[in-house]
Structures are given as C-alpha cells and as structure tokens.
Amino acid sequence: MRRNRPPIAIFVVAAAACRVIDPGLPATYDGDVVEPPAATPEAPETADAALDAAQPDAAAGEPLPEEAGIPGDPLREGCADGTREGFTSETDWPDIAGCSGAWSMGGLLGPQARDPLCMRQGGNDGQNPWGDGCGVADLCAAGWHVCRDAADVRHSSPSGCESAVQSAEPRFFLTLAGASPQGICAPDRNAANDLHGCGNFGQSESAACEPLNRRMSYAECEASMGVWSCGGPGEHLIEAALVSKTTSALGGVLCCRDR
C-alpha cells in the first residue's frame, strides 16, 4: 500500500559545513521528476519508489528483500550478520566492509560506538534487524570495528571509497569521524559536525576529509524520511553525537578489520 508522504524537503543552514545541495536520492523535488541515471530494473523510478525502498514494509514486518546480502563467515565478511552491502567482494576488499543495519542507541562519540550493546545481533540479516538496544558497533563482527576516520579507511582500502557501493540503491556507510564546525575532519573525538563516510547518498565530502566521499547533515537525514535520524536545524553541528537509524535501508556503517 502506498504511503502518503509530504514532499522531500531540502534544508539550507548558514553554516557552510552543513549546506545541502543534493542528498543523492533519485527523487521528485517540488513535483519535478529527476530520471535515475542508467536505468536498471533495480533503480527506483520516482521519489515514492526510492522512499518506499527506504521504509520498512508494514505488512511484512521484515527488512526489505533488496537489503539482503549473500551470507558468509562474519569473521571474514566483517559484518556481524555475515552479509556485506558495501565493498561487497571480500576477496577484493579483505579489510573493509559496508554493513547495512539499524541501531537505536544513538551517537558515535561514546562507548556505544566502540563496544557492542546487543551481542552483535544487529544488521539487516541479523537476529535484531531493527537495532533495538543496539549501537553502531553491533553491526561489525568480532575482530572488526566501525572505521574510525579517513585514515582508517585509507589504510583498510587502498582505493578509498571507490566501489564502496555498486548498486543503484542509495546507500551511505558512516565512520566514527566528526568534523569541526567549519567542516574539516579532525582526529578530535569530540568533533561532531555531520556524518562522514562512503557511498552514493548524501552530499559530496570536502577535500579535507579524503578519501571519504560522502557526508550527511541533519538535512540529508530529514530527506531520508525517518530512516536516518540525526537531530534538527538547531543541532546541525552535532549530528555525530545523535545519529541513530530505524531500518536497514540506505546503508549503515563501515567496518574495518582490527590490526
């Protein structure tokens, strides 16, 4: 059954670091249809189709089938549920994985981002796909961790974010990195401006955060229609301290192998 939704709103804030240009969703904005590039059977054709893919199926009560991955050994795949949705080839990317999933314990700055809270049962193919009581660390397998920052991604993937996402479905996989109010990624663990990672959903990342290629502010979270939650307009400098996720659609976290 089609859900009635308000038009996607794109917000602009004064802070340059949180200025939103394009959230990366194939979508209708104010009634103008934007055709998806290189149309494929899997590509959403309209904003409603893209947002339907981002929402749980109320009738089935289960994660959407397009989020299912090919199961494998979690210790090798890097995702707690044994399936990768980003950097999908374990042979090509043995030290980094994109893991789709949800978590209710918000934020990337505290212990919940580094220590599992729900026995690693999160993930789109896990026992707890809605992430109840889970933090971001629960999406990574034992022996892996949520990638800390750009340097961690560079070490784990010589090609950076290249080929992190190989499907037409919009996905964003975050790291624990935050940025200064000016939008510059920094090793300061208290830096909380925006979400930073790899994918094809969100706005383009600043050069100061390479090799990461995407970032999300509260406005991109709003554009996800409740899948990503990272505060409101008054919290546009602390998204990393707040972020939670309600379904496995639209991505999740980047997991790097411990070393």
Express each pLDDT in 53-92 by its tens digit. 434 333 334 334 444 556 789 999 999 999 999 999 999 9
- The whole domain housing 109 covers 1-259
Q: Is the pTM above the cut of 0.85? A: no
Output 49 or 147, whichever has higher pLDDT. Answer: 147
189-209 mean pLDDT: 92
pLDDT at 18: 42
Tokens for 129, please give them: 């796909």
Please give the Cα distance from 172 to 164 (Å, whole number): 9
pLDDT in tens, 14-41: 333 444 444 555 443 232 322 333 333 3
**Quick count: other Cβ atoms within 10 Å of Cβ 51?**
23
The pLDDT > 70 percentage for the chain reads 73
Name the residue among 62, 64, 48 with its Cα closest to residue 7: 48
- Residue 139, classed as helix, strand or coil, is helix
Output 110 or 220, whichever has higher pLDDT. Answer: 220
pLDDT at 228: 97
- What is the number of structural domains in the chain? 1
Torsion angle, CA of 152/67/4/29, rounded to 10 degrees?
A: 50
**Quick count: other Cβ atoms within 10 Å of Cβ 158?**
11
**Quick count: other Cβ atoms within 10 Å of Cβ 72?**
15
